[in-house]
Amino acid sequence: MSEEKKGWDDIPSLEDLQMDWDYTAENPLGKRKFQRMDNGDVRSIFEMKAIPVRVATGDFTIDGTLNDISGGGLALILKRALAVGQRVKLGFFLGRQKIVSQAIVRQCAPITSAYKVGFEFHNIKEEDSQYINGLYASKALNR
């Protein structure tokens, strides 16, 4: 009584498979992949009044302050608008950790006498991304 091994092609198709509901994944972060920490959370971890960030473009360098951060990007308060899609380099310190990364401007919105500019990290070092993501765990443990 020898039984033949079955392969993937022996499994019948699932044609006419219909669901009576549409599946949508429940993501507590909404459309975001990373948990964001606001400026107050980061400042309290490092006991600083503000986290300065330097932004370099092909034409100029500007300093801003951190508004929020995640392993995937950050938002800054800048005195100058940047174009969506513009490529920049960012540099800042979180405690003793120096973080330098390329980034792409994803949004820019005017606020009172400044601009809130959102950046997506591009080619950030894995260790830097893990460090930033670890800050959220630190915040959660210190509650």
Domain boundaries, the chain: 36-141
Domain spanning 36-141: which CATH class is it, in words?
mainly beta
Residue 48 is predicted with a pLDDT of: 81
Scanning the chain, the segments in alpha helix (DSSP H) are 39-46, 126-141
- Mean pLDDT is lowest, of 7-11, 52-56, 105-109, for 7-11
The distance in angstroms from the start CA to the end CA of the chain is: 64
pLDDT tens-digit map of 23-65: 555 544 455 455 677 767 777 777 888 899 999 999 999 999 9
- Mean pLDDT is lowest, of 11-15, 66-70, 99-103, for 11-15
Q: How many CA atoms lie within 13 A of 92 on its CB side?
A: 26
Residue 9 is predicted with a pLDDT of: 72
How far is it, in rounded angstroms, from Cα 80 to Cα 32? 26
